[in-house]
């Protein structure tokens, strides 16, 4: 993908994401229950969990879209509840739960967001991303008239406009056919490598997580049940695939089912604080 | 899907994000987005002119009829049309502000906007600027039509027209901010509130009759509303050829308070929406 983005400067090695005792309660429902983790620079980490596990809420708190009930979210050292604009141009996100305006063409949408992210070389950047994500023939079509796969690529183009150091992805390949999904994963991998970017992706897709992630944070009912490299998890549980591990964990056969006190990420978060 | 491109890419040149020029750039990007939206639909463009034009025709013909039957109204030529046009400045600006905001929710685009470097005050500024542009698109042709059809020249109000315009636009922004905040917090279920809020001012701000037509106990309420002073001023100019500028200063002062309250309410509702997680559920 974008080879020259590797020449872009990153700020001095600040921890991209540090989450400490993060909790979100809606009425009587605890969506996220006191989780802690950090994302090291240039790593790809997956938030894995079933429906209602707290993945989307966690990402929304990282983005500043949702204010935590308690706990802290720091992105590049900025408290996202109070100071998100200090770092907003260093991150971007894509989610199937938000759309780009359907009546605008792809080029118009990307132009607007290029303006919001303060990009000076708009035409050049859009032209490159369009070429790279195979959107050039679609640039002047209404976004609403595109297929799901095409819209996903447009969403990804928007998310990559500012070559973010931190990319947050909520189910980046949801509703895509296997070929397109595989292509997107490859693009993300290339981007992370070229940019030295940190990626946090929420997914249900175990194969995707195995392929992309250096580390998996397994959420269940708003709590972290595992936080390890995919291969380590598979070996530890003596299973063939990450999906088998996932089923073990969510069905109460977690190795920490009885006595989970402190995940490795908790310790890392404490060190940072 | 074909093989992955290995072409070297255009590195984004990111401009500084925290100065005034960056703010203006982001406001400009949002206004550009609204221009794109309007350009994408010819029907919308026609609709912008259609309703105020019908309104002007209806009241214009009524005025023409009444002028032929009563001597008082014959002297008050243009009062009704003037009222309609000024009311439409208030109403259309408010609708322009609210509709444009609601559009982001219909489009499920708010999540993208609120996670970008766009600050809330920049979003508000863009909505305000756009509401005035939209007003121009809808009202200029209608005002010209009023001149040719009924011989009513809005410019006869002279310099006071500029002040009237400012007062009405500022009031409409306050109402727009309040509506947008409520919709942010309660979702599109509160859309009706956005539409109906301006109508609350129709009877209270004495658009078509003097303040003295209201019961005594309601008159202070009317006088606490900035548009009341505009409509009183317009009638004073058209009926007596005089105008009390103090009324306008009073109206502008009230507007400053309402605008501040409107912005605070918008920020408060936005923060409540972040706390309640409702920004995640916005959409059609």
Query: What strand order describes the sheet that includes A44-48?
Result: A91-94, A166-170, A198-203, A44-48, A215-220, A223-228
Q: What is the pLDDT of residue A1?
A: 54
Does residue B3 lie within any of the structural domains?
A: no
Q: Which two three-digit tokens encode residue A199?
A: 């990626």
Q: B268 pLDDT exceeds 90?
A: yes
Helices and strands (DSSP H and E) totals, chain B = 12, 0
**Cβ of A179 and B17 within 8 Å?**
no
Find the DSSP H helices in B115-244. 120-150, 160-186, 191-196, 201-204, 219-223, 226-240
Domain annotation for chain A: domains and CATH numbers: 14-272 (3.40.50.300)
Q: What is the pLDDT of residue A49?
A: 87
Q: What is the pLDDT of residue A7?
A: 55
The upper half-sphere exposure of residue A8, i.e. CA atoms within 13 Å in the direction of its Cβ, equals: 23
- Chain B positions touching A183 (Cβ under 8 A) are 1, 4
Does residue B4 lie within any of the structural domains?
A: no
Residue range B57-71: mean pLDDT, rounded: 74
Beta pairing, strands A70-75 & A44-48:
unpaired
A143-147, A165-169, B128-132, B277-281: segment of lowest average pLDDT: B277-281
Q: What distances in angstroms separate CA A170 from CA A52, A58, A84, one per listed residue? A: 13, 10, 19
Query: What strand order describes the sheet that includes A78-79?
Result: A29-39, A17-26, A70-75, A78-79
Task: In whole angstroms, give the CA distance from residue A238 to residue B178.
Answer: 58
Task: In whole angstroms, give the CA distance from residue A210 to residue A159.
Answer: 22
Does residue B49 lie within any of the structural domains?
A: yes
- Name which of B5, B9, B111 is nearest A95 (Cβ-Cβ): B111
Domain count, chain B: 1
Compute the mean pLDDT over every residue in chain B, rounded to the nearest whole number. Answer: 85
Task: In whole angstroms, give the CA distance from residue B219 to residue A181.
Answer: 66
Substitution target from A55, A117, A133 for chain B, most B beta carbons within 10 A: A117
Size of interface A-B (CB pairs under 8 A): 173
**Cβ of A66 and B280 within 8 Å?**
yes
Report residues of chain A scoring pLDDT below 70: 1-12, 256-273
A211: three-class secondary structure by DSSP: helix
- Name which of B9, B111, B279 is nearest A2 (Cβ-Cβ): B9
Residue range B157-178: mean pLDDT, rounded: 88
Does residue B16 lie within any of the structural domains?
A: no
* Shortest alpha-carbon distance between residue A209 and chain B (Å): 20
- Chain A positions touching B119 (Cβ under 8 A) are 85
pTM to 2 decimals?
0.86
**Enclosing domain of residue B264:** 21-280
Q: What is the pLDDT of residue A266?
A: 44
- Chain A positions touching B35 (Cβ under 8 A) are none
Q: What is the pLDDT of residue B150?
A: 84
Does residue B9 lie within any of the structural domains?
A: no
Does residue B13 lie within any of the structural domains?
A: no
Which residues, 6 or more positions from A183, have their beta carbon under 8 angstroms from its beta carbon? B1, B4
Beta pairing, strands A166-170 & A198-203:
parallel
- Name which of A8, A118, A186 is nearest B117 (Cβ-Cβ): A118
**Cβ of A60 and B40 within 8 Å?**
no
Does residue B11 lie within any of the structural domains?
A: no
Q: B62 pLDDT exceeds 80?
A: no
Q: What is the pLDDT of residue B180?
A: 92
Q: B105 pLDDT exceeds 90?
A: no
Q: Which two three-digit tokens encode residue A158?
A: 């928007």
Q: What is the pLDDT of residue A4?
A: 52
* Element at A94 (helix H, strand E): strand A91-94
Residue A262, class by beta-carbon neighbours within 10 Å (0-12 exposed, 13-18 middle, 19+ buried)?
exposed
Distance of alpha carbon A127 from its chain centroid, rounded? 25
Q: Which two three-digit tokens encode residue A253?
A: 């056969």
Find the DSSP H helices in A178-241. 178-195, 206-212, 230-237
Substitution target from B4, B12, B284 for chain A, most A beta carbons within 10 A: B12
Substitution target from B7, B112, B279 for chain A, most A beta carbons within 10 A: B112
Q: What is the pLDDT of residue A216?
A: 95
Neighbours of B106 (CB within 10 A): 18
Tell me which DSSP letter residue A142 carries: B
Does residue B5 lie within any of the structural domains?
A: no
Q: What is the pLDDT of residue B1?
A: 42
């Amino acid at each position: 993908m974008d080879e020259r983005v590797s020449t872009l400067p990153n700020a001095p090695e600040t921890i991209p994401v540090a989450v400490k005792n993060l909790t979100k309660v809606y009425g009587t429902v605890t969506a996220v229950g006191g989780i802690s983790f950090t994302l090291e620079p240039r790593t790809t980490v997956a938030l894995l969990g079933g429906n209602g596990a707290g993945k989307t809420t966690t990402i929304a708190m990282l983005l500043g879209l949702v204010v935590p009930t308690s706990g802290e979210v720091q992105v590049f050292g900025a408290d996202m509840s109070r100071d998100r604009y200090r770092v907003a141009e260093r991150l971007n996100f894509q989610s199937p739960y938000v759309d780009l305006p359907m009546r605008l063409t792809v080029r118009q949408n990307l132009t607007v967001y290029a303006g919001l992210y303060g990009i000076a070389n708009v035409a050049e950047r859009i032209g490159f991303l369009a070429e790279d994500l195979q959107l050039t023939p679609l640039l002047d079509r209404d976004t609403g008239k595109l297929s799901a796969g095409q819209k996903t690529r447009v969403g990804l183009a928007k998310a990559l406009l500012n070559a973010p150091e931190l990319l947050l992805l909520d189910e980046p390949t949801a509703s895509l056919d296997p070929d397109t999904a595989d292509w997107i994963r490859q693009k993300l991998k290339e981007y992370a490598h070229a940019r030295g970017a940190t990626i946090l992706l929420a997914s249900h897709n175990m194969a995707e997580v195995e392929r992309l992630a250096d580390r998996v944070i397994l959420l269940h009912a708003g709590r972290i049940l595992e936080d390890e490299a995919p291969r380590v998890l598979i070996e530890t549980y003596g299973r063939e695939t990450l999906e088998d591990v996932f089923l073990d964990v969510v069905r109460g056969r977690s190795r920490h089912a009885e006595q989970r006190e402190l995940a490795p990420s908790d310790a890392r978060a404490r060190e940072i604080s | 899907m074909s093989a992955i491109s290995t072409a070297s890419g255009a590195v984004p040149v990111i401009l500084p994000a925290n100065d005034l020029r960056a703010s203006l750039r982001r406001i400009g990007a949002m206004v550009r987005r609204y221009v794109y939206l309007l350009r994408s639909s010819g029907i919308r463009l026609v609709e912008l002119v259609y309703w105020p034009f019908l309104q002007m025709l209806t009241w214009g013909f009524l005025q023409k009829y009444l002028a032929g039957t009563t001597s008082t109204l014959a002297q008050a030529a243009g009062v009704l049309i003037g009222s309609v046009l000024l009311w439409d400045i208030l109403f259309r600006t408010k609708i322009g502000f609210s509709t444009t905001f609601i559009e982001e929710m219909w489009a499920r685009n708010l999540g993208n906007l609120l996670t970008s470097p766009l600050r809330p005050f920049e979003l508000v500024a863009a909505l305000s600027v756009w509401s005035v542009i939209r007003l121009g698109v809808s009202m200029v042709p209608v005002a010209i039509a009023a001149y040719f059809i009924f011989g009513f020249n809005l410019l006869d109000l002279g310099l006071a027209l500029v002040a009237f315009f400012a007062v009405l636009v500022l009031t409409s922004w306050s109402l727009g901010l309040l509506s947008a905040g409520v919709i942010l917090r309660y979702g599109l279920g509160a859309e009706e509130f956005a539409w109906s809020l301006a109508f609350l001012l129709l009877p209270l701000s004495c658009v078509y009759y003097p303040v003295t037509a209201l019961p005594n106990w309601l008159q202070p309420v009317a006088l606490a509303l900035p548009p009341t002073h505009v409509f009183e001023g317009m009638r004073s100019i058209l009926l007596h050829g005089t105008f009390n500028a103090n009324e306008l200063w009073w109206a502008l002062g009230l507007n400053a308070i309402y605008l501040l309250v409107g912005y605070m309410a918008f920020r408060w509702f936005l923060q409540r929406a972040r706390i309640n997680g409702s920004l995640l559920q916005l959409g059609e």
